[in-house]
A and B are shown apart, each in its own frame.
Chain A
Amino acid sequence: MDGKVHVGNNFEDCQVGDEYVTTGRTITTTDVEIYTNYMGDYNPLYTDEEFAKTEVYATRIVPELLIYAISIGQISRMRLFEGTMLGFDKIDIDFIKPSKTGDTITIKGKLIEKKETDRKEQGIVNFNVEVLNQRGEILARSKQWILVCKKTD
């Protein structure tokens, strides 16, 4: 066994304008419980139904960062950068609309820019990434800057 894995796209394979759409994933109360318990993010907005009933959304909402964590997983399942991704450089996220458990999210991405870095063996690809619910409403708009390997000779 060596270090080789299925190889996704290298920097050279990526073209501005490339797009993807992920499969859906339904966010369950279990997801929320696991997330809040593990992160220690027990804000009553996410964990206290009696409190949440009296608030604007009238029920508990899904922690915003959980929606985004699941979105990252959904994108990863497309195996676009398997074995070629070196990590995230930056992420900007605007949350537009709250989400409730039972919502099913899909993620749409579009490559908007490619950038060189000061290291010649890697580059940065910048995607516009939108998280949508089952009604096609945008839950979050974001940008991801991903460090990707270049091809080796």
Chain B
Amino acid sequence: MSGVVVEKLSKVFGTVRAVDDVSFGVAEGSILSLLGPSGCGKTTILRSIAGLEAPDSGRIRLGDRPVFDAAEGGVLVPAEERNLGMVFQAYAIWPHMTVFENVAFGLKVRGTARAATEAAVAAALRLVRLDGYGARYPSELSGGQQQRVVLARCLAYKPTLLLLDEPLANLDARLRDEMRVELRRIQRETGTTMIAVTHDQAEALALSDRILVMDKGRIVQDGTPEEIWRRPAAPFVADFLGTVNRFAARTLDPTTLVAENGARVALAHGLSGAAEICLRPTGAVLEAPGVAGPNRWPGVVAASLFVGEYREVKVRCGTLELDLRISAGPDYPPGAPVTVVIDPERLILFRGEA
């Protein structure tokens, strides 16, 4: 049995197709991330699953229960009857209730007995490591603790699905790392199916079992974090997963390309036709100037910035400028001639338009 099934979902706002014929499923007990830039439709999908937004067409099923069906005599189950949990970007912890009352809310509206409620709240607070905080008001908690209260509030009544809307966006970098680990732990311990929405690729990669990369209301790629990182299905995905150098090339022979600046690239695997090449900033190293050749491009350092673990170096190779992260070797000052050594295993190639 599948956890969530979304079929042919569409939603139009005015003239914008916010969600355009999107279908996917989420396996029970797994974490799926919807990753994309703002305005790509990911939040609309999440809110449609939640029941806060009414899509124009399509179907949504939670387990074997249809909660939305745009077909005639259709179904639109209101949000309060879907038995979901949702973590809002701005937390939405009710400031007039104590932590206990916040966490107990979902149980109270379900008419749970007092003793059972207290036990469930205690268990949920223990799960997020906030035991003993029940009597506090949210305004007395730190940002990270508030985030944990939200999780406890959602998990206390054991929802069939947990939705997370940019769950870590409001935390500082250190807390974000911590909460990522916590979220995975909680997911493991409770087995709750989760769908997260994020525009942060690192968050999506670290958190998810599967990622849907979205652009302009459509799914561009659907895969595991590793697949998406190693084999982006489109230049957009590669771009979105980290600044990359992108340039056009044509094939000279099946294993040799000529980049748009005239330099040659020797490939590890064969390819034919015109191509688009993506090179990650870590996909090359710098050496002292020497003999040029395939994968060894002569260049001149245009700028160099020390940012701690590595240097951000901009190298001009003919008509191309490459942004590289160099973590070893000497410091080449601006103006210095260098050789850029490209690792062909780390190139990402797309068949370009001829």
On whether the two chains bind one another, the answer is: no
Residue ranges of A at the interface with B (Cβ–Cβ < 8 Å)? none
